[in-house]
């Protein structure tokens, strides 16, 4: 999956204060909105969520971009909402995380 949709990715132990409750972090680089959409709907990614997300106690997203288009954030959130509508079981899975901030 990474070879087809991500420019780079890393997952590893967090370097922040453990008292904040985060143990690991994930960073991904995605070239454009088309690549992001492929990543979001990749069958491996979708299946992995059902293995990984039930193990999470906290999940907080930090998003940033080097794209100068002021609409990029709203376009990404619209893609997220479309995925929630297409996969209601995925939305329930995300809602099951006790402490999350994804939008």
Q: Rounded CA gap, 72 and 70, in Å?
A: 6
* CA count, 13 A, side-chain hemisphere, 67: 16
Q: What is the pLDDT of residues 49-92, one digit of tens each?
A: 999 999 999 888 877 888 889 999 999 999 999 999 999 999 99
Residues 100, 40, 70, 32: is their CA dihedral positive or negative? Answer: positive
Reduced to 3 states, what is the DSSP secondary structure of residue 86?
helix
Whether the per-residue pLDDT at 25 is higher than 90: the answer is no
pTM, entire model: 0.78
Report, in angstroms and rounded to the nearest whole number, the Rg of the chain calculated over CA atoms: 14
Q: Rounded CA gap, 3 and 92, in Å?
A: 29
Q: Name the percent of the chain lying above pLDDT 70.
A: 94
Q: Which of 97, 90, 95 is CA-nearest to residue 21?
A: 97
Domains and CATH numbers, the chain: 2-101 (3.30.70)
Please give the pLDDT value at position 103: 61
Backbone angles phi, psi at 62, to 5 degrees: -120, 120
């Amino acid at each position: 999956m990474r070879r087809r949709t991500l420019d780079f990715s890393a997952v590893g132990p967090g370097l922040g204060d453990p008292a904040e409750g985060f143990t690991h972090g994930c960073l991904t680089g995605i070239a454009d909105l088309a690549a992001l959409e492929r990543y979001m709907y990749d069958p491996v990614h979708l299946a992995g969520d059902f293995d990984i997300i039930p193990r999470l106690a906290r999940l907080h997203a930090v998003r940033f971009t080097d794209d100068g288009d002021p609409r990029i954030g709203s376009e990404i959130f619209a893609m997220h909402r479309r995925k929630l509508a297409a996969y209601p079981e995925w939305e329930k899975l995300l809602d099951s995380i006790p402490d999350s901030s994804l939008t």
